[in-house]
């Protein structure tokens, strides 16, 4: 009972503070996916080149991923609520700049500033939760709510964007951020307490300088692999990242006030949680990209209708997060983490059995099961990451958690996207001669079919849809295998742990 003393339990004000913190978690994730539906309108209005369009799509995620650890560590020094408010102001201002961008260059710069704001907001929200909720069961519930908001943003982005585009111009999908940031700036000082670690006032500038190109080159290499395959650029980017990683780790081991306490990774719980977080993000993000293409091409849905069909996945994530919090209270953290990863693997197995004629409901059922497992594993993994780190390093630990999400997402898009694309191209090249565009992507096949006679178009689409479904099947099989292996590894790494409290006392 001592660990749940009344003075340590969250008050109504604390829970209202959590509600405020969920808003930036939702928006920073939502802005990663909103361009899925706003893209055509932006392209028509600004007419960017193909290179400029890639930067418009990617710069937000690139900048955000490369700054998460730095901003999380900086929040430990200067105050996490202060960083949250700075990020809110920057995110709101950048959203206005994006909405009224008049050229591709202006839009790229504005999206980069939006990424800086997002990187300042995201680790602050999770690290503040660590300080606000002292009772472990309540903290897991709070982390579960944060997980549902962050994961739900990826689904909410296309839905909100699609609705706004029905009535307003493309900039409206970004202006919606502004009133939310204003609310955050007003409510956070009232409801969210300030937390910092005054014992470590110095900031690791060299570590920050190394971490930026390290993460940026890794994310760029993975995204380039997804778009262009394994070429010299991919190898160079990943090679640079590997070299910088070695230098970074050596410096962190010597630095008096390191950006990351690398001794945290000697704790099995922390390392297992980071690994599970990365693989779960890989699975969710990799399938998310394939799912929207699958629904819009093979099943002919509009972007908005595809997003609406994907709504149950948000419910699955929220239910998984809620169940994980309740189960962990009774049986410890290991069973829900392992079961979540296993449920995700089962969801992939359903998707791996699809054919072009399979009901869309079956695909959504598999996708919801995958999201349910992701909600469970994300909640427990994030809770373990926060609980395994000392309270004064919660910001840095949150940065690691968020960065593992970003790297996992990039790796998922690259890996599952490459597998699906390779299977599609190999199948099309051996079965049809409809042209390069149709052989490269299923969207190219749909566009090509529009120029052909009805019978030829129907034949091409049948072949293309079957080929793309085979690609999704192959990607799902790989995803299932990765999640199953990770579940086994997590079970072995945490086999002696029953509760998170025990985890925090573990010695390497």
Closest residue by Cα to residue 34 from 141, 121, 120, 114: 114
DSSP string, 182-239: HHHHHHHHHHS-----GGG----HHHHHHHHHHHHHHHHHHHHHHHH-S-HHHHHHHH
Q: Whole-model pTM?
A: 0.74
User: Residue 414, SS3?
Assistant: helix
Give the sign of the dihedral formed by CA 494, CA 495, CA 499, CA 502: negative
Of the listed ranges 43-47, 235-239, 254-258, 346-350, the one predicted with least confidence: 254-258
Q: What is the rounded CA–CA span in Å between residue 155 and residue 367?
A: 12
Q: What is the rounded CA–CA span in Å between residue 339 and residue 118?
A: 31
Residue linked to tokens 């955050």: 184
Query: What percentage of the chain carries pLDDT values higher than 70?
Result: 86
- What pLDDT does 192 receive? 82
- In this structure, how many other beta carbons lie within 10 angstroms of the beta carbon of residue 47? 11
- Average confidence (pLDDT) over 114-139: 80
Burial (0-12, 13-18, 19+ Cβ within 10 Å), 409: buried
Q: What is the rounded CA–CA span in Å between residue 445 and residue 19?
A: 45
Exposed e or buried b per residue across 201-219, where buried means at least 16 C-beta atoms within 10 angstroms of its C-beta: eeebeebbebbbebbbbbb
Provide the token pair at 379: 């909640």
* Neighbouring residues of 295: CB distance < 8 A, sequence distance ≥ 6: 301, 305, 306, 309, 310, 360, 363
- Average confidence (pLDDT) over 412-441: 76
Maximum alpha-carbon separation in the chain: 76
Q: What is the rounded CA–CA span in Å between residue 407 and residue 417?
A: 15
Q: How many helices (H) and strands (E) does the chain have?
A: 20, 0
Q: What is the rounded CA–CA span in Å between residue 180 and residue 426?
A: 47
* Neighbouring residues of 502: CB distance < 8 A, sequence distance ≥ 6: 332
Closest residue by Cα to residue 466 from 298, 286, 353: 298
Instruction: Using alpha carbons only, give the angle 457, 461, 463 rounded to the nearest 5 degrees.
Output: 120
Instruction: Using alpha carbons only, give the angle 446, 36, 350 rounded to the nearest 5 degrees.
Output: 70
Q: What is the rounded CA–CA span in Å between residue 27 and residue 191?
A: 19
Note whether 298 and 121 are within 8 A (CB). no
DSSP state at residue 161: H
- What pLDDT does 348 receive? 94
Please determine, for residue 483, whether its predicted confidence score (pLDDT) is greater than 90. Answer: yes
User: Residue 165, SS3?
Assistant: helix
Split at pLDDT 50, 70, 90, the class of 500 is: very low
- What pLDDT does 496 receive? 60
Note whether 379 and 141 are within 8 A (CB). no
* Neighbouring residues of 485: CB distance < 8 A, sequence distance ≥ 6: none
Burial (0-12, 13-18, 19+ Cβ within 10 Å), 433: exposed
Rg (CA), the chain: 22
Average pLDDT of the chain is 79
* Neighbouring residues of 287: CB distance < 8 A, sequence distance ≥ 6: 348, 351, 367, 370, 412, 416, 475, 476, 479
Of the listed ranges 289-293, 369-373, 376-380, the one predicted with least confidence: 289-293
Question: Between 102 and 55, whose confidence is greater?
Answer: 102
Question: Between 22 and 446, whose confidence is greater?
Answer: 22
Q: What is the rounded CA–CA span in Å between residue 492 and residue 430?
A: 44
- Average confidence (pLDDT) over 158-185: 83
Most confident of 12-26, 217-231, 395-409, 439-453: 12-26
H or E element, residue 84: helix 80-99
Question: Between 209 and 92, whose confidence is greater?
Answer: 92
Question: Between 76 and 101, whose confidence is greater?
Answer: 101
Note whether 482 and 342 are within 8 A (CB). no
Closest residue by Cα to residue 184 from 18, 30, 65, 395: 18
Note whether 437 and 488 are within 8 A (CB). no
- What pLDDT does 350 receive? 95
- What pLDDT does 344 receive? 92
- In this structure, how many other beta carbons lie within 10 angstroms of the beta carbon of residue 168? 12
Provide the token pair at 252: 């962190």
Please determine, for residue 88, whether its predicted confidence score (pLDDT) is greater than 50. Answer: yes
- What pLDDT does 506 receive? 39
Q: What is the rounded CA–CA span in Å between residue 73 and residue 396?
A: 4
Note whether 68 and 119 are within 8 A (CB). yes
């Amino acid at each position: 009972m001592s660990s749940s003393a009344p003075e340590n339990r969250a008050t109504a004000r604390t829970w209202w503070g959590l509600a405020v913190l969920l808003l930036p978690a939702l928006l920073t994730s939502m802005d990663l996916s909103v361009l899925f539906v706003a893209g055509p309108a932006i392209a028509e209005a600004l007419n960017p080149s193909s290179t400029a369009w890639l930067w418009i799509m990617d710069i937000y995620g690139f900048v955000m991923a490369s700054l998460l650890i730095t901003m999380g560590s900086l929040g430990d020094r200067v105050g996490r609520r202060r960083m949250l408010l700075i990020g809110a102001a920057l995110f709101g201002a950048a959203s206005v700049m994006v909405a009224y961008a008049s050229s591709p260059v202006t839009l790229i710069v504005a999206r980069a500033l939006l990424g800086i704001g997002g990187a300042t907001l995201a680790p602050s929200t999770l690290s503040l939760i660590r300080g606000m909720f002292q009772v472990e069961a309540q903290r897991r519930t709070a982390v579960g709510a944060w997980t549902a908001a962050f994961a739900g943003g990826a689904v909410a982005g296309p839905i909100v964007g699609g609705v706004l585009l029905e009535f307003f111009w493309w900039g409206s999908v970004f202006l919606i951020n502004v009133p939310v940031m204003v609310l955050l700036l007003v409510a956070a000082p009232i409801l969210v307490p300030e937390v910092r670690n005054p014992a470590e006032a110095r900031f690791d500038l060299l570590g920050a300088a190394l971490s930026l190109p390290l993460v940026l080159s890794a994310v760029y290499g993975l995204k380039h692999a997804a778009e262009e395959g394994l070429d010299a650029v991919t190898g160079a980017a990943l090679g640079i990242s590997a070299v910088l990683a070695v230098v970074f780790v050596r410096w962190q081991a010597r630095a008096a006030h390191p950006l990351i306490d690398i001794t945290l990774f000697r704790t099995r719980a922390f390392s297992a949680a980071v690994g599970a977080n990365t693989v779960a993000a890989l699975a969710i993000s990799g399938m998310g990209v394939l799912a929207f293409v699958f629904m819009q091409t093979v099943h002919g849905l509009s972007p908005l209708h595809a997003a609406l069909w994907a709504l149950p996945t948000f419910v699955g994530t929220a239910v998984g997060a809620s169940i994980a919090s309740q189960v962990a209270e009774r049986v410890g953290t290991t069973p829900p983490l392992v079961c979540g990863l296993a449920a995700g693997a089962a969801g992939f197995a359903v998707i791996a059995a699809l054919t072009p004629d399979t009901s869309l409901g079956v695909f959504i059922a598999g996708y919801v099961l995958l999201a349910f497992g992701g909600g469970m594993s994300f909640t427990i993994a994030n809770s373990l990451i926060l609980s395994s780190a000392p309270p004064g390093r919660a910001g840095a630990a949150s940065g690691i958690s968020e960065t593992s999400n970003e790297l996992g997402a990039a790796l998922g898009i690259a890996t599952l996207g490459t597998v699906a694309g390779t299977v599609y191209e190999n199948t099309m090249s051996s079965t049809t001669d409809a042209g390069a565009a149709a052989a490269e992507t299923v969207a190219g096949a749909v566009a090509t079919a529009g120029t052909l006679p009805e019978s030829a178009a129907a034949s091409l689409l049948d072949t293309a849809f079957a080929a793309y479904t085979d690609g999704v099947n192959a990607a799902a099989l790989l995803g299932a295998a990765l999640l199953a292996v990770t579940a086994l590894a997590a079970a072995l790494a945490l086999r002696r742990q029953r509760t998170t409290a025990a985890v925090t006392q573990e010695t390497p």
